[in-house]
Structure 1
Amino acid sequence: MSTHSRSRSARTTRRSRHSSPPGDSRQHRSATSGPRLITRGLLVATGVGVISATGFALAAMSGASSEPSGPTGDVVVFGDSYYSSPDDAALTRPCAQSDQNWPRLAAAATGIPVHDWSCGGAISADLIARIAEAKDAGELGAATRTVFLSIGGNDFAHQSAVRGEAVDDLEGRRATVLDNVAAAVDAITAAAPDAKIVMSSYLPATVGPYVCRSAGANGGVSLPVYDQTLDTVEAYISETLSIAAEQNGASFVDIRSAADGNSTCSPVWQRYVSGEDDGAADVLMAWHPTQAGAQFMADQFIPEFA
C-alpha cells in the first residue's frame, strides 16, 4: 500500500488542479511490473501468473475499540459501486450496497461505526448531494474522524471500456472529476472540520495490458486477452484520484498498485475483480470487486482510520 499524506493547507493549490503529470498517463507504475507479471504468466499452462497480495491482518486490529466513539460515527464513506460492491440482493436496494462490501467488513472487524454513503452508478457530480444527505442524517459532523472518497469510474465510462468500447476525451473527464471532488472536499470540511480525508484508486481489472473476461475451467484461470484501452482508462481513473488527493490535502491509498497481480486473471477466490458474471461463487457483480477484493480493500483501509 502506498499512502501519501498532505497538509490540509494544500487545498489552496486547487487553482492548478487541471494540470496533468507530464508524459504517459501510466508513468507512475513500475516500468517493469506489468511485463514481469505477464511473462511469468505465459510460462505456465494456465496462461497467466498469479501474485497473491496479502492484505492487512485483521487479527492485528484486536486492540481496536468495540464501542462507537461518537454519536455521529467515526468513519463515513462516499463512492460508487467499486465501494458499494453490489450483489444481486443489493440491486433491489437504494444505491445498491452489498452486505459484503468493504465498509461493512471493516466495521465488523474493528467495532468502529462506518457510515456507508457509497452508491452504485454514482458520478462525481453526485457527491455534493450525498454529502448533504449524510450531514442531514447526522452521520457526517463534528464527531466524524475519517472520510473515505473514491469516485470517477462512471465519469470515465469504465463499464463501456470493459465492453471494449472506446472512451474519448480523458483529459476533459479528468477536469470534471477534479472540479467536483474539490467541491466535495469543501463540503466535507465544512461539515466535519476535524475529519481526515482519504482518497483511493480502484482495484485493477487488468494485469499489464491484459484482461481475463471469465474464469477458465483450468483452476478458475482463463487466458489473458490484450486490452490496452481498458488498462489505459483504469490507469487514468486511478491517477486522477491521486492528483485530486494531492490538490486537496487528502491522504491517498494506491489500491491499484497494492493489488497489482490480483486481477480478473487470477484464480477464483484469489482475483480481486471479476470479469463477466461466470457463475463463480466469489462474484458479487460482474466487473466489480469480488468477495476477496472487498476484503482486501478493508484490510488496506483499516490502518487509515484516524
Structure 2
Amino acid sequence: MHARHPRSGGTARNHRHRRPTGRGTRIVTRSLLALTGIGVVVASGLTMVSLSGAASGGHRSVVVFGDSYYSTPDAPALQRPCAQSEHNWPRLAEERTGVTVHDWSCGGATSASLLDRVKESLVAGDLGQDTGTVFLSVGGNDFAHQDAVRGGTVDDLEGRRDIVLANVSTAVGIIRATAPGARLVMSSYLPSTVGPYVCRTAGPVQGVSLPVYDPDLDAVEAYISETMALAAQQHGADFVDLRAAAEGNSTCSPVGSRFVSGEQDGAADVLMAWHPTQAGAVFMADSLIPHFAD
C-alpha cells in the first residue's frame, strides 16, 4: 500500500496483453474466517507446485484493481506509473497462464482513488463484456497500514471500514454494470505479523530481527482482512484469505521464505520495505490463478 507515490492516470502502460494458450489447474481448500463467520477460500500450499507453468485455454481476460500490495513496487517500478513491478503477481500470472491480465493496480491507491482506476479501465477498453475475472483488494491506505507497521496508532477503525465498504460498493456497481458476466474475486493482504509479533529490521538470525510484541498491528491487519471479507459477502464475490493461507510466512520468517519484508535490510528478497517480497508475489499468483474464470 505504497502511500508515498501519487496515483497516476490510466495509460496503455498500466496494463499488459497476452493471448490465451491452454487450460489451468485449480486446487483450493475451503475454510471459515473465524472472527466473522464468513465463508472464504484459502489457497492450498499445493497450488505453488501444481500451477507452475499452467496453461489457460478458454480463460477470458482478467482485470486487477488494488494498491501496492498488488503492484508490488521495486526500485525500477518507482519510475513507472502506479509503481507496478515487472515481478508482481498479475504479471507472474499472465506469464504462467497465457491469459491476458490488465493490471490496474496502483501504489498509493485508497478505496476512493480505486474508483478512478475502474473508470480509467473502462475508457481503455480493458473492462467490459469480454472480461472473465475481476480481482479487487484495497483498504491498507485507508487504514494507515504503513503507519501501523512502524508502530503508529490507527484510530476509528469502524469509521475507516465504513468508507472502504462504501467505495468498494460503488466500484462493484460499475464493474457489474460493465462486465456483468465477470467473476468478482476479493482478497486480503499477506501478513506482516505472526500472531501479535512483527520483525521490523535486519538481524542476526537468518537475516531477521528478534520479534517485537505488537498486538495493535496484528489487530489492524486482521481488521483489513475482515473488511475485504465483509465486502465480498455483501456483493456475492469470492474471497481469498491470503492472510490465513500465508500464516507463518511473515516478516519474522527467514530471508527467502518470508512473504512480506520489514524495513529495508539489503536482502535480495526485498522489493520495497513493508511490502510483498518476490516469494510473496509468487505465493499470491499461485493463490489467485485458480480463480480465473473459464
TM-score, scaled relative to structure 1? 0.80
**Contact 1:147–1:196 (Cα < 8 Å) also in 2:** yes
What does the per-residue CA deviation read over 1:40-74, in whole Å, with 9 as the maximum and x for residues that have no partner? Answer: xxxxxxxxxxxxx83513554656236x866xxx1
Verify: 1:109 aligned to 2:117, yes or no: no
The residue aligned with 1:178 is: 165
What does the per-residue CA deviation read over 1:128-157, in whole Å, with 9 as the maximum and x for residues that have no partner? Answer: 211111111111110000000000000000
**Contact 1:215–1:268 (Cα < 8 Å) also in 2:** no
Distance in structure 2 (CA, Å) of the matches to 1:60 and 1:122: 29
Shift of 1:113: 0.9
The residue aligned with 1:148 is: 135
The residue aligned with 1:124 is: 111
Shift of 1:229: 1.0
In the alignment, residue 57 of structure 1 is paired with which amino acid? M
Please state whether the residue corresponding to 2:204 is helix, strand or coil.
Answer: coil
Q: CA distance change for structure 1 residues 229 and 301 in 2, over 3 Å: closer, same or farther?
A: same
Please point out which of 78, 83, 87 is paired with 1:96: 83
Counterparts of 1:1-306 in structure 2 under 5 Å? 27=35, 54=45, 56-57=47-48, 59-60=50-51, 64-65=55-56, 74-306=61-293
Shift of 1:3: 5.5
Please state whether the residue corresponding to 1:57 is helix, strand or coil.
Answer: helix
Number of positions where the alignment pairs a residue of Structure 1 with one of Structure 2: 260
Please state whether the residue corresponding to 1:76 is helix, strand or coil.
Answer: strand
**Contact 2:54–2:96 (Cα < 8 Å) also in 1:** no
In the alignment, residue 35 of structure 2 is paired with which amino acid? Q
Structure 2 alignment gaps of length 5 or more = 1-27, 38-43
Distance in structure 1 (CA, Å) of the matches to 2:247 and 2:36: 13
**Contact 2:59–2:132 (Cα < 8 Å) also in 1:** no
Distance in structure 1 (CA, Å) of the matches to 2:189 and 2:262: 15
Please state whether the residue corresponding to 1:263 is helix, strand or coil.
Answer: coil
Distance in structure 2 (CA, Å) of the matches to 1:176 and 1:62: 39
Distance in structure 2 (CA, Å) of the matches to 1:89 and 1:63: 28
Please state whether the residue corresponding to 2:135 is helix, strand or coil.
Answer: strand
What does the per-residue CA deviation read over 1:67-92, in whole Å, with 9 as the maximum and x for residues that have no partner? Answer: x866xxx1000000000000011011
In the alignment, residue 282 of structure 1 is paired with which amino acid? D
**Contact 1:3–1:254 (Cα < 8 Å) also in 2:** no
What does the per-residue CA deviation read over 1:6-63, in whole Å, with 9 as the maximum and x for residues that have no partner? Answer: xxxxxxxxxxxxxxx9xxxx8359xxxxxxxxxxxxxxxxxxxxxxx83513554656
The residue aligned with 1:46 is: none
Distance in structure 1 (CA, Å) of the matches to 2:36 and 2:200: 26
Distance in structure 2 (CA, Å) of the matches to 1:60 and 1:278: 31
Please state whether the residue corresponding to 1:166 is helix, strand or coil.
Answer: coil
**Contact 2:249–2:259 (Cα < 8 Å) also in 1:** yes
Indicate the structure whose relative CO is greater, using CA pairs within 8 Å and at least 6 residues apart: 1
Indicate the structure (1 or 2) with the bigger Cα radius of gyration.
Answer: 1
Q: CA distance change for structure 1 residues 194 and 61 in 2, over 3 Å: closer, same or farther?
A: farther
Q: CA distance change for structure 1 residues 161 and 113 in 2, over 3 Å: closer, same or farther?
A: same
TM-score, scaled relative to structure 2? 0.84
Structure 1 alignment gaps of length 5 or more = 5-20, 30-52
Give me the CA root mean square deviation. 2.1
Distance in structure 2 (CA, Å) of the matches to 1:119 and 1:55: 29
Distance in structure 1 (CA, Å) of the matches to 2:66 and 2:46: 21
The residue aligned with 1:48 is: none
In the alignment, residue 250 of structure 2 is paired with which amino acid? S
